[in-house]
Amino acid sequence: MTAINVTQSTFKSEVVESDIPVLVDFWAEWCGPCKKLSPLLDEIAEEMDGQIKVAKVNVDQERLLGAMFQVMSIPNVMIFSGGEKVDEFVGLVPKQEIVSRVRNHL
């Protein structure tokens, strides 16, 4: 499964009410590090299909979601499990670190 785009109207059903952990990428079109992170997250979505869900929030289009989660710089990735934010990191991090953070919540 590839990453899904999430909006304010789908955030609750896709992220908060998900039965499996959700990795949420807050990004923007103009952000260089976001463009480098995106293919890594797509790979993780494929490799861990069924174990986690990967969601993307475009902060330019979804300003309220960005404000709600106090996103100050991007890429900002949050991991949600059981409807709660359980982890967060900012910036471009290696794929293995992302996978290991996700595994902590499986």
Q: Once rounded to an integer, what is the mean pLDDT over residues 5-12? A: 97
pTM for the whole thing?
0.95
Which one of 6, 15, 23, 34 is the catalytic residue? Answer: 34
| Domain membership of residue 89 as a residue range | 4-104
Confidence band for 31, pLDDT divided at 50, 70 and 90: very high
Structure tokens at 43: 């790979």
CATH number, position 90: 3.40.30.10
**78 is an active site residue:** no
Total domains in the fold of the chain: 1
The verdict on whether 31 is a catalytic residue reads yes
Residues 15 and 54: beta-carbon distance below 8 Å: no
* pLDDT for residue 11: 97
User: Which whole number is the average pLDDT over 4-26?
Assistant: 97
Give the tens place of pLDDT for each residue, 58-95.
999 999 999 999 999 999 999 999 999 999 999 999 99
What amino acid is encoded at 59 in this protein?
V
CA gap 78, 71 in Å, rounded:
10
Return phi, psi of residue 24, to 5°.
Answer: -110, 120
Output the average pLDDT for the chain: 96
Instruction: Say which of 28, 31, 40, 92 is annotated catalytic.
Output: 31
What's residue 1's pLDDT? 74
What's the rounded Cα separation, in Å, for the pair 21 and 57? 16
